[in-house]
């Protein structure tokens, strides 16, 4: 089997496994009664904000033909997102789900942001993995095609991740 097909199969498996694990963790009964992990939502927002900055810098650098800086920024964004994902799963494994208690019109705004964030966060996983794979293997034209779609969605997911934290901040332990 050629390396591209093998990697695409791995991307598909990872892209299915991650949302399944997150859903399972959200419904498991867990309770961090000591609030040992109360700092993690803020850490997650920080990681999302730093990822957005890395993405925007990477975009700027590729537009200015600074390929090495672009590569470093995008790999940095990937590393930050990976740390976020591991920490997010750890947090929800140990704490469960925190409900949003806002009322009125702001509740609709929150749920619109949350739902679009979740849907696009699931969709972005294979896109990011494929973009990085194609970039690292010098499949430049294929990388450009997927990256043009990946970039705005990834930025949206990171920024809405920070917004979700800001909405939820009053309700964390």
With contact defined as beta carbons under 8 Å apart, do 87 and 37 qualify?
no
Domain count for the chain, please give it. Answer: 1
pLDDT digits (tens, 9 = 90+) for 16-44: 998 888 788 777 776 666 678 889 999 99
CATH number where 123 lies: 1.20.120
Decide if 41 contacts 169 (C-beta within 8 A): yes
Domain that holds residue 95: 3-27+39-171
Note whether residue 20 is domain-resident: yes
Give residue-wise pLDDT tens across range 90-110.
888 888 778 899 999 999 999
33, part of any domain = no
Chain-centroid distance of CA 42 in Å reads: 15
- Ramachandran area for residue 87 (φ above 0: left; ψ -120 to 50: alpha; else beta): alpha
* 0.85 exceeded by pTM: yes
Residue 122, domain member (yes or no): yes
34 within domain boundaries: no
The answer to whether residue 32 sits within a structural domain is: no
| Model confidence band, residue 173 (pLDDT cutoffs 50, 70, 90) | low
CA-to-CA separations, 156 to 105, 142, 153, in angstroms, rounded: 22, 22, 5
Q: Is 160 within a domain?
A: yes
């Amino acid at each position: 089997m050629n390396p591209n097909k093998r990697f695409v199969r791995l991307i598909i498996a990872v892209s299915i496994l991650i949302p399944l694990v997150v859903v399972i963790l959200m419904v498991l009964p867990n309770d961090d009664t000591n609030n040992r992990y109360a700092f993690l939502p803020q850490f997650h927002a920080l990681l999302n904000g730093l990822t957005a900055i890395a993405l925007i810098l990477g975009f700027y650098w590729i537009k200015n033909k600074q390929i090495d800086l672009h590569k470093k920024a995008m790999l940095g964004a990937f590393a930050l997102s990976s740390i976020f994902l591991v920490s997010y799963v750890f947090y929800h494994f140990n704490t469960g789900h925190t409900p949003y208690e806002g009322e009125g019109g702001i509740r609709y705004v929150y749920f619109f942001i949350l739902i679009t964030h979740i849907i696009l966060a699931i969709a972005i996983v294979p896109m990011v993995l494929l973009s990085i794979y194609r970039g690292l293997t010098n499949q430049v034209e294929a990388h450009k095609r997927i990256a043009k779609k990946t970039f705005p969605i990834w930025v949206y997911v990171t920024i809405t991740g920070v917004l979700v934290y800001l909405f939820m901040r009053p309700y964390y332990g």
